[in-house]
Structures are given as structure tokens and as C-alpha cells.
A and B are shown apart, each in its own frame.
Chain A
């Protein structure tokens, strides 16, 4: 007897992912039943498991398009992009980009940015722990030294700039409050921070995302202000700092000597 050939898992996976294909060869079922129905259990487990994972990760997107639409869209994503690791909390990284190119969702141009916000929430949930700076210790910094200081932001800090009011949309769908009409042409810049265990979502003034991104790149406060003002003449540093402090987004501020 020759040694059995290696089990062709690739063929098994191809058939799992493509319902048009017949089940792989070599399957047996009791009483001579066709293997279709049995193999379909695995197909269904894979599909439902991953679609459910996306459903949990993007609950507001799901509400925005409705259950049936979301399932269909998530299914298309899943067929094209399977998880690369067994850590399902990382799954969906490219979902926002996929949504932005998903033809049937074109009528909801803000959907993709809401997906970006929801993915950031998941990232913040699992981010590294760090003790945030207290407002008092930030106030104690000499104001004239701040310009050349650099900041360490909390590892959970994410910012998302959108042409649409994504924070307001998200908030309305996450609460039981009655929906009020939103001005969809008013953009918002989202700030996500998880200083302790609770995630905080707030909005930054225009230019805030550019400001935070500059700080993340270890530019000084002075350089970050220049970058934000360059992006938006109306950049309001005071409001921006206040929001970042309220969200407890700073872990350290290093004053240059």
C-alpha cells in the first residue's frame, strides 16, 4: 500500500469559498447522501462567522444600510478578503476602502468614513495601556516652552477627517435618542481615545486631524500648528487643545531644553 497523498486543503478551501464549485473529491456521507448538504455546513460556518465578525465591528454601518444590505456587502468583502491572522479583532482593516468602492453603496457617500470610525473604535479598544497626563500637569507647563515641545499621544488615539458629519451620525445611531436631521454637507473631524478602559469619541475643530497627525510624527507643537493652519486658515489651537485634554489624549509632553 502506498502512503496516502497529502490532503489537498487548497481544493477544500477553494470549494468552501466558491458555492458554484462542487464539494472536493473524496468525501463520504452515511447512507449514500450527497456530500453537498454536509459540505454546505462548513461553507455556512465560514461565511456566517466572518460576516458576523464584520457585523459586530461595524454596527452603525449595518444600521445605515439595513441588515440585508450589510450582509450582502460583508459577504462580498469576505469573499475577497479573508482574515490574515486568527485574531478576528483585526479583521475588517480594509473594509472602509472596500465600502468606498462598493457600487451599490454609492448613495451613502459617508458610509466609508463611518466604517473608518468604527474600525478605529475597535483598534482603540485593544490598544496598549498608558497613563494619561492630567490637565493639571499640562497646565503647569511653561506656555513659552510649548512651541518647541513634542507630545506622546495615548496609543489608543485615532483621528479621522471626513467631509461628512460622521461623529454626529455615529452618535445618533449608538443612542436611543430620536434622530434629528443632520446637515450632511458639514464635515467633522473625529477624535477617538481610550485613556483608561472607556472609549471616548469627540470632534476636533477643523485642522485638528492635521494637528494630531503632525504630533504623532513627533513634530513640535509649533510645527503642528503651522501644518494645521496651513491646511485650514480657521484652525483654532485653543479649542483643539481643550478637546485633546478633555479626551486625555496626552501621555507625555517633552519640553525642549
Chain B
């Protein structure tokens, strides 16, 4: 008998204790539906910055939600990719929220959003070189120290490149992981969008991605604009159902990494709860398929 291969989903995660199931980005408009239907959702994810007020409905809903479901907190405002020092006041707010909620995961972006004390409310791109790497590593280390836990860093959606980049995005992310021991959030839609916009193969990107560090996947619907010659220019807009091409890329990613917590993000033109839940159900069916494939493999490995 050969040594059974370890099923991928039983690997201990360093940064996340989210179940390898489909989750949903929480919108307060859906709170009543969620309460009434007690849906079988693997987890909910919130944007940290919406829960930094002193009290009121956001906190009441969050308290309720986290008593029934695993919770993931996703920051959009730490500006990790910026050259400026982190906003310590903001980091303290994030810490207060994380300490209070004890989420199963905390994630942020490989991007910047603040400059000169001004918050631009977008995830802006950075060049990938030794100088930016130094800043990103210092920022991730500082956040992990403050939160006393490893965090997940998400790959961005790209519309352009910088001449001053010396690393590929994947090389850069590998270096960040190596130097900070953080983990990764693979946004499959961002890969799809970037690959289209920068003319590279999304499959090759997924094949080269360091999957052993991926502890969460994001899926969202993009918006489509047109380039100068009429070719599609895709925009990461979180405004639509996940497109078929993204689902296919997701299945390809799952074949490499095994079942992993997968979030449906839909932040603009938010649909009725049933529509969002149906997207999570679809992701769940791919996860279930991958899970049984892993089990079949380990059974056949065990009996060989």
C-alpha cells in the first residue's frame, strides 16, 4: 500500500480558519432575508471600514451574523502598497474591530488608496520593484504585529503596468509571503480581468500562482468597456453575476489548490438575496465536486 496523499483541504491554514465552503459578501440590505431564511452559507465577509462607527445597526447586525456564521473581515483602507507610513489611527480601528469580532480571516489588498492624508476610495496599482517591496513588506509586518495574526493579501485587478516594475506580480507576491509569512487571497476575477487587459494567459497565471499559500478565493462579476480598437477592456466592478469565463478559471484554480473558502462579492447594483445566494450555491457545487475528487484520489491512492 502506498502512502495516501494528504487531502488538500485538510492542510492546516496559517492565517484563516474559514471553512472550505462558499461565502457571501454581506450587505445590510440582505439582513432581514438572511435572518428569515437561515441560509446554508459557509461564511460571510464584511468590509472593515463599514463597521468603524460607534454603534447602531451595523454593529447589531454584525453581532447577530457572527453568532450564526464564520466571519471574514476584508479591509479596503490600509493602503498597504503606499510608500507613506501606514495610518496608525486607522490600523488601531482595524485592530479594535478584529479584536472584537475575532474573525476566521482578515485580508487586505496589494494596492494603495491613501496619499497625503487623502483617501481615494479605489485600489490603485503600484510598480513591482525592490523599493515598493520594502514598503509592502514593512506594512504587512506592521499589520500582522498589530493584529497578532497572519493576514491574507489579495492580488489586484490591473489596467496598466509600470516601466519601473522589475518583478512579475507573482514573483512579488511570493517575496511578500517569504518575508512576512502572510498568506494569499486569490481573486480569480482579478486574474481574469488583468489577463484580458494586459494580454497574458489567465491559466498560466493560475498555474504559476503559489497555491500552497492560498487560503481564500474571491469571485465577482466584472464590467465590460472597450479598448481603443474595440477590444474588451474589463473593469473589476463587483456589479454583476460571475461570468462563465471566470467560473471556468475558478474550476481550473480549484484543480490546483483543492477546496478553499470562496467568496461571492457583489457590492454595486446589489441584487435580491436569492440571486446572490444562487451564486454561492453554484460555487458550493464546484467545491463539492473538487472535494469528492480529492477524496476519490486519496481512496485510490490508499488501495493501490
Contact = CB atoms under 8 A, between A and B. Distances in A.
Interface of A: 3-7, 9-10, 12-13, 16, 26-31, 33-35, 37-39, 41-42, 45-46, 49-50, 52-53, 82-89, 124-129, 155-156, 194, 197
Interface centre among A125, A126, A156 (most CB of B within 10 A): A126
Contacts of B164: 4-5, 7, 26
Q: Which 3 A-B pairs have the closest CB atoms?
A: A86-B77, A126-B53, A129-B55
Contact of A4 (B54, B127, B227): B127
Contacts of B197: 30, 38
Contact of B115 (A13, A45, A84, A89): A13
Contacts of B122: 42, 45-46, 49
Interface in B110-158: 112-122, 124-127, 129-132
A86 B82 CA distance: 14
Given A52-B268, A85-B90, A197-B57, 19 more contacts: A5-B131, A7-B131, A9-B84, A9-B112, A13-B115, A28-B163, A29-B160, A30-B197, A30-B198, A33-B227, A34-B228, A37-B227, A38-B160, A42-B125, A83-B118, A83-B121, A86-B87, A126-B54, A126-B55
A83 to B, nearest CB: 4
Contact of B56 (A16, A39, A84, A197): A197
Interface residues of B, number: 58
Given A4-B131, A126-B56, A46 B162 contact: no
10 contacts: A7-B126, A12-B124, A26-B162, A27-B162, A29-B198, A41-B159, A41-B235, A85-B90, A129-B56, A156-B56
Contacts of B115: 9-10, 12-13
A26 B163 contact: yes
A54 to B, nearest CB: 11
